[in-house]
Amino acid sequence: MQDIGDILDNRVLLVALIACLIAQSMKLVIEIVKNRKLNVRVLVTTGGMPSAHSALVTSLATGVGQTLGWSSPDFALATVFAIIVMYDAAGVRQAAGKQARILNQMIDELFDDKHDFTQDRLKELLGHTPVQVIAGSALGITISFLAKSFLLANSL
């Protein structure tokens, strides 16, 4: 049971998860402002503004740098991991989403209401635009620095 307690005491992990939750919550607010309706599904879907994946991994890398040092191998590892995740979100997954959109459009045009096409539509919102990734990254870094400032202010 001590292992679980150690995990819950990991400030870097907790701040990264909080950054992810804040980014995901911001998607709901942006959805309400943009479309003037409540769509709670955005809380559990991928894609959208800002990138929660980017917020998570940049907050994690920033926290590792703040804790273990900016020249530590751990920070280098976390940074490379963050770059791979963000590249995937803005590159590979966004391309897959574009392909899904085209395939769905082709199915719509080929199979009108007269044909019985029983397959589910492909999910189109998979990845992020570069702006969404940058916004998520900025959010993650900001939350990490704010958390450190908050902890320092409360320890004095």
128: pLDDT strictly greater than 90: no
CA distance 63 to 1: 25
pLDDT(62) > 90: yes
Contact 79, 47 (CB under 8 A): no
Q: Which structural domain range is residue 109 located in? A: 2-155
**Mean pLDDT lowest for which of 22-26, 51-55, 127-131?**
127-131
Angle at 69 between CA 50 and CA 63, to 5 degrees: 30
Q: Residue 15: its pLDDT value, please?
A: 96
Q: Return the ∠ at Cα 61 (arms to 6 and 52), rounded to 5°.
A: 95
Average pLDDT for 99-109: 76
Strand ranges (E), the chain: none
Can you spell out the DSSP letters for 55-97?
HHHHHHHHHHHHHH-TTSHHHHHHHHHHHHHHHIIIIIHHHHH
Residue 54, number of CB atoms within 10 A of its CB: 28
pLDDT band for position 116 (50/70/90)? Answer: low
Q: Assess whether pLDDT exceeds 90 at residue 146.
A: yes
What does the pLDDT read at residue 35? 86
Mean pLDDT (the chain, rounded): 85
Instruction: Answer positive or negative: Cα dihedral of 119, 99, 57, 21.
Output: negative
The whole-number pLDDT of residue 130 equals: 86
Query: What is the domain count for the chain?
Result: 1
